[in-house]
Chains A and B, each alone.
Chain A
């Protein structure tokens, strides 16, 4: 076979499929976002409104609520997951037999369906018979009567916990492999120089982990901003709209109220927020200076 065409022939199926399943809908969706389109009224695309949908978002109270919820959810989830991930990494990266078993099964929670995880947590947070509810009530009696999914703050906290639960194993594994790959000599030298464990942690371990922390933060932010399944199965955006993150608001707008144009516009706004976050991290990654 002629080499000149071979490389294009084997690349073509992927390009065609990506074009049809990703690029085409994205462009089409951008076009829809520039139109008014209520699918319950007409199956034909509606009036061209230019940036009208985008401008409308800025005067929409629900949109601002969603942005706030999304930011709180994302920042908390990313921060908690990464901090805990590093802690878990430090605890589990030692060469011990029972730890190596634990490392092997750590991937299991991550493999579970987030939809199932959401339902399971709803079961365990139930104020009448939920296991977690009872455990928390036992250890911290004042919280015994808490209806976790019933108040805005606790529902959001519950949602963040579930997101942390889903992503912690994977993030921990990234940190574990990073920590186990570190040269031992550095730590021995620090020990000889009389550094205590805190100095070692903040002066040596964390700076050396920095590239992994950044990648973890990028991945985690992307995942948090796109979180969907646990919200549907755990809180449905409620109570009120206290857990309605942008991604879920797009779903509601497009597939519950069938306002396709506005939904698509919100989607592009979320994309811009994601890119904004990633650019901030990228600058850190490129500069490679101290993580503080």
Chain B
């Protein structure tokens, strides 16, 4: 065997091994998603088989949104919780991030560290006093309760993410604007915000994902009226086991918005998360 053929064999084996590796990753990560996707379209008699060829049906989706489950209600609850949480979180965090990034403030490093440190303490510890308070105030099982608890979770993350982006915008841009006679608010609105847009979008999507998928608070603080989508999934667990095809259909409509959002901001998201961890 010549040196050339030996090298050829080595190169082919290593590229073969690489391709097998990539294939294994794809199977491990995407087969479960594919399987749930298929199950969502399966008629009941096919659910407990491994068949991939069947006549797809939309019945499961109809049942999910029908009167038996009323998934539309939970969709509404989730939407309200996420929308209000974001509407409060994002402006509040932008203002705070701007203030911390641009001004001398006593103890601002301590503040940034403290809001990060609160994330070390398991969130369930926060929920214990809230549960008691909400019970006393009679607001258990309302979307308001979920919004309040979510805010403590989203604002620290959003401040960290947005501050990182504002730090990278040169101060000169704003100063130039102010020399031209524009007020600070106008400068922020017309110069800073457009430049910080990628950071703001990243923070919005990130906060969207954590509140949209938030499970623990919803499990503890709601039981009927204000139940959100992730908790509502458990309603497909009946006495005779789980109705998998309907749960899969519910799961598909539930995750669709997140997938779309995440694909939009994929790049900034990874950057934001890893640089946020760095500081």
* Given A32-B129, A177-B270, A275:B120 Cβ within 8 A: yes
Interface size for B (C-beta < 8 A) is 91
Indicate if the CB atoms of A17 and B29 lie closer than 8 Å. Answer: no
Residue from A6, A11, A107, A134 with most neighbouring chain B CB atoms (10 Å)? A11
Please judge, given known A-B contacts A113-B254, A251-B124, A271-B120, whether A121 and B277 are in contact too, CB under 8 Å: no
Does B242 contact A119, Cβ atoms closer than 8 Å? Answer: yes
- Does chain B have a CB within 8 A of A247? yes
How long is the Cα–Cα vector from A32 to B274 in the complex, in angstroms?
Answer: 35
Asked if residues A108 and B259 are in contact (CB atoms below 8 Å), the reply is yes
A43–B138 alpha-carbon span in the complex (Å) = 13
Interface centre among B122, B242, B270 (most CB of A within 10 A): B122
Q: B-facing mask of A189-200, CB < 8 A → 1, else 0?
A: 000000001000
Chain B residues within an 8 Å CB radius of A15: 96, 111
Q: How far is the CB of A82 from chain B (nearest CB, A)?
A: 14
List residues 223-261 of chain B with CB under 8 A from any CB of chain A: 229-231, 233-234, 242, 244, 247-248, 251, 254-255, 258-259, 261
Say whether B262 faces chain A, with CB atoms less than 8 Å apart. Answer: yes
**Contacts of B1-59 to chain A: CB distance below 8 A:** 14, 18, 21-22, 25-26, 28-33, 35-36, 39, 47-50
Are B115 and A18 interface neighbours, CB within 8 A?
A: yes
Least CB distance from A121 to B in Å reads 7
Interface size on A, residues (CB 8 A): 88
Cβ contact within 8 Å between A14 and B92: yes
- A218 cross-chain contacts in B, Cβ below 8 A: 277
Q: Does A140 touch B at the CB level, under 8 Å?
A: no
A residues 113-147 in Cβ contact with B at 8 Å: 113-117, 119-124, 128-129, 131, 134
Please give the distance in Å from A159's CB to the nearest CB on chain B: 15
Indicate whether B110 reaches chain A with its CB closer than 8 angstroms.
no
- The count of A-to-B residue pairs whose CB atoms sit within 8 angstroms is 249
Contact pick for A267, options B105, B125, B263, B277, CB 8 Å: B125
Q: Is the CB of A23 within 8 A of B99?
A: no
Contact between chains at B124 and A11 (CB < 8 Å): no
Q: Is A22 within 8 A of B118, CB to CB?
A: yes
Q: At the interface, yes or no: B65 with Cβ under 8 Å from chain A?
A: no
Residues 181-218 of B at the A interface (beta carbon under 8 Å)? 183-185, 209, 212-213, 215-216
B residues lining the A interface (CB < 8 Å): 14, 18, 21-22, 25-26, 28-33, 35-36, 39, 47-50, 88, 92-93, 95-96, 98-100, 102-103, 105, 111, 115, 118-132, 135-136, 148-149, 151-152, 155-156, 159, 183-185, 209, 212-213, 215-216, 219-220, 229-231, 233-234, 242, 244, 247-248, 251, 254-255, 258-259, 261-263, 266, 269-271, 273-274, 277-278
